[in-house]
Amino acid sequence: MPSIFQDFVDLPVAEQFERLVIPREDWKGINYVQRALERILPAFVEQGYEFVAAENLASICRDGRMGEYLEKKSASDAGGFQTVYPQHGGLYALGKDELFEPQRIALAVFVMACVEQWRHSLKDKNDPAASKDFNKRHVVVWRAIRKISGPALHYLPSLDQPVDRIHDDVEEAMQGLDERKLADHGAQKNYLGYLRLFLESYLGWRKYEPRSQSKQIEKDSAEQWLLEKKIPVEKRDPDSEIISGASEIRQIEFRRSVEALRSSDHFKDGIAPEELSDSPSFHQAVTPIHTKRGGSLTQSVRTQVSRQMHRRRLAQLLPERWEVLNDDELRKLGILLLDDGRHFEPTTILALSLMLLTGRELDEVLKARVGNNQCQLPERPPSSGVYVLAESGEWHTGIKKPDDRRLRKGKYKPALELHYQSITLPFPPVIWERIKALVRKRASSAKKQCASLFRKAETASVRSEVKAIIAEINSRRRARLTQFRIAYQLTEELHQKGGDLIEACLVTNREPPSGPSAAIYYHHTCRQRLVERYVEVTSRWQTLWCPNEPVKNQQITLPIDGNVGSDLVIQESLVRQSFKGLREQAKLDYARQGQAGGLRSLHNAIMNYLVMMIYWMTGYRAVQDPIARASDFNLKRRILFITDKTGEGASHARMVPLCQVLADQLSIYKKHAANVRARLSVLDRERQPTFLFYLDEDLNEVQVRPKTISNYLWAYSLPLNFSRHWLRGSLREQGVPGAYVNAFMGHWGIGQEPWGKHSSIDPLDYCDVVGSAMDKLSQRLGLETITEVY
């Protein structure tokens, strides 16, 4: 691109100006354009462009002789000056308002060079779509040049690098915009977005599509930005008699495409895709207002509010809901399954038993496989699969995992905990005795691999007979069984026993009723704990079915050690060593205080230790600077308020109890930072408005952000967000209820807000329980306070 202006020398001066300005025929505001070119033309040479004619054209502008070379005509298009002639309009605005900041001039030079090359490439093409794409991007990029503010210009990357690198740096700058420093944060982010879109079209990565011709946005589209989805009917049970109007509402959420998500730095650092939203989600009515039938906007708002309240109540997942079986219904179902005298097909009894004991719907049960032993199991079974083992009386399945989980890289594996992707659970002996004959008969056809448990010819009859059995139990209103309630019963009781819906969903392969949750992305737990909860639930069922017989538990033959769930959990021993090394580094830097750079080294060592404590003891997402202000925490009450979710506009803030050692360290750092700033106040240096800061080699304050942390905390090479993967499972190990853990981690959806109108969480109990658990975890990691005085 530096040589694109070589042919200017052979052109008349008037044509050279026309190529540069792309003007309207009347050359509107020529004096302002001349003033802008006087500053811009020398910058072409300064930025390395081979523009021999630049000095001559700049001299003409300085002398005010530009009008002598131009032939003015009456404007053929008097309207839309800055949209029809964006480059002319942009230069006019720069000269009129004297917008001559060095970054703005450099950006204008870069864009004009790109435009010249882009127009040259379109000359030999008869492509109306490409020309339209150029025109649209040309308009928006000059709008950005005109309107981007001075503070936002400082976020622009260096423009003397390849265009694709500039594009990536602009994307990173959009993520790094600090809303505390920019009064109109949203508008400035949009202007950077215009520049990003211009670069993508210039590079051929994106094509402009008019709204009228745009395709319907699909969930898996590579160009997806606006995600629209209808909210399902809240009943979630097709056999329920409850009718809801929620299907007339759709949720609007701005999200990046799958490719953009997977290539973002936050995803690579271990952040769940559900947490990478570019704006808050909101709801919109789909059904139009029928004004001719008496409908009005006020009436629609009232209806919308009532529906939202209904949705929020349902999302609370209180026990003993209408979709859960009571003990009497569960007993009637179990008695029928164990009754040998009834003339039901063995395949139907097997299907109903698997629905209840695996938590799967009938469609998934009919795809179940059977094998003789573990040697025939697949290495990585799917989470929706059910594999019945005929010899041991167990069933095997994969653990539920999100589709977009970050992969374990080879360089990280030595630091991560041992992880498994499947689990084996025992059948209750009373049920196994009833179904084992059929299971072993079908397993005889399994040679090297598992075979199908149900034949295709049987599926239709199994479906119809399952309905007949349910109808018989429900006759005369003795019960209210449905296929959904039978399949959901295991999830509900595992939730009640363990206190965490996410752990139940790991076994039963279900999405939480409130929708996809980032908690599944982060949670890890021991397989033994899941097996014990499952045995507790099935043992209770056996007491209902056979009250006069002692409960017998099936022996488990496969290993149940190791963790399942998130595979990005760092070994705890390595975390302890990291904290110990940071403390020792601070002591060494204290001894160097009298030497050159001693104060800087000590401050940065204390800063590194505090930053690590914050991430590991509060669950901060590493997307922006942690603890921006001292007012974010209250040391007396040991409470920290966190707002760290991307693009959520502070609508997802959460309250986090502080462990005692972190509260003490924050108090020490607060005094230390004040002392450092006081000692350096005589120097002419940059200061940051944030609570946390590093010191560079010139003693300027550097804002603490994920990128700067990776530069200064060089000894810690793992992604910072791996701390959240360890933290959620560790809190559950301490016996913290799942609802409290979700409130601590910031994992909730609409209707599950911990401090919302319909929430039953007690703030005092939440702080006591979680605070006590965090104190124990800080002891496990061996955390201690460090100070500037030893």
Structure tokens at 757: 């109108």
DSSP label at 67? G
> Which of 346-355, 460-469, 633-642, 706-715 is predicted with the least confidence, judged by mean pLDDT?
706-715
The dihedral sign for the CA sequence 437, 441, 442, 444: positive
SS3 label, residue 395: strand
Q: Smallest Cα–Cα separation from 606: which of 683, 525, 489, 693?
A: 693
Residue 78 has pLDDT above 80, yes or no: no
CA distances, 202 to each of 44, 189, 567 (Å):
20, 20, 40
**Pairwise CA distance, residues 538 & 483, whole Å:** 19
Q: pLDDT at residue 627 above 80? A: yes
How does DSSP classify residue 479?
-
- Measured from the Cβ of residue 786, the count of other Cβ atoms closer than 10 Å reads 24
Largest pairwise CA distance in the chain = 109
Q: 572-780 sits in which CATH class? A: mainly alpha
pLDDT for position 511 = 82
Sorted by sequence, the CB contacts under 8 Å of residue 254 that are 6+ apart come out as 225, 226, 227, 277, 278, 279, 647
| pLDDT at residue 448, rounded to an integer | 87
pLDDT digits over 549-606, tens only?
887 766 665 556 788 988 889 999 999 999 999 999 999 988 887 787 889 999 999 9
CA distance 562 to 558: 12
pLDDT in tens, 665-689: 999 999 999 999 999 988 888 888 8
Which pair of tokens denotes residue 413? Answer: 């594996």
CB 365 within 8 A of CB 358: yes
| Confidence label for 359 from pLDDT (cuts 50, 70 and 90) | very high
Instruction: Specify the 3-state DSSP secondary structure of 451.
Output: strand
Q: Which of 428-442, 499-513, 567-581 has the lowest mean pLDDT?
A: 499-513
Q: How many CB atoms lie within 10 A of CB 298?
A: 8
Helix axes 501-508, 738-745, angle to 10 degrees: 100
> What integer is the mean pLDDT of 642-665?
80
Is pLDDT at 77 greater than 70 in this prediction? no
Structure tokens at 517: 């949750």
Quick one: tokens of 710?
């990776």
DSSP 210-264: -GGGPPPP-TT-TT--EEEEEPPPTT--TT-----SGGGEEEEEEB--HHHHHHS
DSSP 324: S
Nearest alpha-carbon partner for 620 in 642, 602, 638: 642
Beta-carbon count within 10 A of 404 CB: 14
Distance CA 522, CA 727 (A): 9
Residue 538 has pLDDT above 90, yes or no: yes
Q: Which two tokens stand for residue 513?
A: 């009723």
E strand or H helix that includes residue 347:
helix 346-358
Give the span between the Cα atoms of 646 and 643, in whole angstroms.
9
Indicate yes or no: pTM above 0.85. no
Token output for 633: 């925490």
Q: Which of 651, 612, 666, 676 has its CA nearest to residue 755? A: 651
Burial of 609 (0-12, 13-18, 19+ CB in 10 A): buried
Is 510's pLDDT higher than 50?
A: yes
Amino acid at 243: I
Instruction: Provide the percentage of residues in the chain whose pLDDT is more than 90.
Output: 39
Q: Write down the domain spans for the chain.
A: 6-212, 217-283+296-314, 327-565, 572-780
Mean pLDDT, range 144-151, rounded to an integer? 91
| Overall residue count recorded for the chain in this entry | 790
- Whether residue 217 is predicted with pLDDT greater than 50 in this model: the reply is no
- Between 476 and 310, the more confident residue is 476
State how beta strands 654-657 and 369-371 pair: unpaired
